[in-house]
Structure 1
């Protein structure tokens, strides 16, 4: 959206400058020998898989902390964003590249199971391939038309270049990770290697209910929180969707697209933050194709679900999350591109606080 907005203002100079700025890699796997590369026609309906990860080096298996699918119906004038819970229990298919035999696990581990390239090294792009297959199996989406890996640390740079972001928070939030001044909260010495549910102590950054203009570190902190929220990870998913919508609205404002210096900074920060696979098209081509989509015609979708436990009483152990059966009806509407009708008939899927 930022790219398309800038191009409408500044023309082909920006195209030449930013078409190759984003790191473009194959995220959906190598094609069989002799097979022609798939090149999608950027016409709706479209499904784009967006995955957010925390910064990790090549020696650490990546985990997908945020999984969002953007469905753009035919006509390319609106978008529906829905999140897949990171702790959702799913069937992860076998993956020959890493020798993974498949099995039931939390969906955020699919990227990890698919990322190993030997010698203790990991490749997030290869991990994305198995995650895409897993999400496809869950939703019935046979092939995604584009995909992106978003580095949360790089996202912070984008928001800094934008001068912060204005976002509405629908419940009071306390940070698990940061102090009021943005510095990390100290960790209990006995909680090394994430062995404790709440390993931090001391003063917490707080974000009261309401509309606020957040600095970059605050915005990123808000979308990372799940502890203390009324519906845990489900509310965090909604905050992440709202963050994307708020960024889109601000990025397309006249204060950005008509400000060459600010626009340049945002696009360069985006280039450092993304790994993109446009299935034969670069990010600028996609930006132009989707220029009719803006923040006002984005619908944020809340998938119904519940937590899964084993045992009873005090012996209950949290296993993960499960979606309600009605989610399968929603996925069918995505596949058939009848999602607009589905949402009219099932308004409970719409996030009313967006």
Structure 2
């Protein structure tokens, strides 16, 4: 063997050893980062016990590995936060102010958010016909899951709940959000101007709760709730939050302390979902509302009647995990809701 070939082989061996050492270092750093995330953030999330226990005759699992969340905004009557590990009070007389099915694609490329109007007149198991938001008051997350699954035939994998106090804290930790509003309105002493409004937590809560001064009533409120979510995604992506360790840590700690999830969602699952969506952008998310046939009265209650014929293909696409390719068949969130 010539000296040149010997030197070349030694060089290749050193390069190989360097690559192995570098790979090992990256793996160790990755494990450390994962441990930190598990301990500091995912471990900060509180769990809702036994949400899926005792639910019989559930819909079939969605094909593939996509994940379906039932996202609930809880309208609580309590002094203090009632959701998340930062809860200081117990919820009483709670109804679900926001009900959304959130489908997260397995490859992290897209998300669909489908709102169900809270006044939808549906069958609540064990209670007969009622507003869908009453299911949460009657039986908490478990009964709401059962009600939504019976209505849609879509299997819910996980549940996430946040109350008004938690909602406000998360918005403030983000530094507020910017939303576009079509015309001046007011809610709870908070005034909104036509155009882009920067809202802190309390103002954002008033924004997503307003309905009486809006031309579409509760339908415009649903659009506002979706617009708020889109604004949160946009703010996190474009405002430097993801590149500012201090701000990001504060936001993550606040967000994870404000939300409760079902006890079937492990910390490892949370990390996996976060990693899958690390490159997601607001444009990857689509927002729509379950089609409705109209409104009416049931006794002294103002209710929303869902359009069963128009809803059927929507639920079917969700069941088959094909909604992304059929979005053109539905009305999506307007650019500037009321």
TM-score, normalising length: structure 1: 0.74
Q: Is the 8 A contact 1:45 1:73 kept in 2?
A: yes
Which residue of the partner structure matches residue 85 of structure 1?
117
Does the C-alpha gap of structure 1 residues 251 and 272 become closer, same or farther in structure 2, counting only changes over 3 Å? same
Does the C-alpha gap of structure 1 residues 256 and 69 become closer, same or farther in structure 2, counting only changes over 3 Å? same
Which residue of the partner structure matches residue 158 of structure 1?
170
Give 1:153 shift: 0.9
* Pairs aligned (count): 286
Q: Is the 8 A contact 1:303 1:323 kept in 2?
A: yes
Question: Are 2:321 and 1:337 aligned?
Answer: yes
Instruction: Give the match's secondary structure for 1:320.
Output: strand
Which residue of the partner structure matches residue 302 of structure 1?
289
Question: Are 2:57 and 1:23 aligned?
Answer: no
User: Residues 216-268 of structure 1: CA distance to partner in whole angstroms, max 9, x if unpaired?
Assistant: 21111100111111111111011101101111221233521222221122112
Distance 1:42 1:24 in 2: 26
Contiguous gaps of at least 5 residues in structure 2: 1-28, 56-60, 79-89
RMSD: 2.7
Which residue of the partner structure matches residue 61 of structure 1?
93
Q: Is the 8 A contact 1:161 1:265 kept in 2?
A: yes
Q: Is the 8 A contact 1:72 1:78 kept in 2?
A: yes
Which residue of the partner structure matches residue 129 of structure 2?
104
Give 1:88 shift: 0.6
Of 264, 271, 276 in structure 2, the residue corresponding to residue 279 of structure 1 is 264
Does the C-alpha gap of structure 1 residues 212 and 254 become closer, same or farther in structure 2, counting only changes over 3 Å? closer
Question: Are 2:293 and 1:320 aligned?
Answer: no
Does the C-alpha gap of structure 1 residues 280 and 164 become closer, same or farther in structure 2, counting only changes over 3 Å? closer
Does the C-alpha gap of structure 1 residues 295 and 322 become closer, same or farther in structure 2, counting only changes over 3 Å? same
Could you say which structure has the higher helix fraction? Answer: 2
Which residue of the partner structure matches residue 187 of structure 1?
none
The equivalences for 1:1-354 within 5 A come to 11-12=33-34, 13-26=36-49, 28-30=51-53, 44-57=65-78, 58=90, 60-94=92-126, 102-114=127-139, 127-141=140-154, 143-175=155-187, 177=188, 179=189, 205-253=190-238, 255-277=240-262, 279-282=264-267, 283-305=270-292, 306-309=294-297, 318-324=301-307, 325-344=309-328, 346=329, 348-353=330-335
Does the C-alpha gap of structure 1 residues 236 and 41 become closer, same or farther in structure 2, counting only changes over 3 Å? closer
Instruction: Give the match's secondary structure for 1:133.
Output: helix
Distance 1:288 1:304 in 2: 33
Does the C-alpha gap of structure 1 residues 261 and 334 become closer, same or farther in structure 2, counting only changes over 3 Å? same
Which residue of the partner structure matches residue 24 of structure 2?
none
Give 1:69 shift: 0.8
Give 1:165 shift: 0.8
Distance 1:281 1:41 in 2: 19
Contiguous gaps of at least 5 residues in structure 1: 1-6, 33-39, 95-101, 115-126, 180-204, 312-316
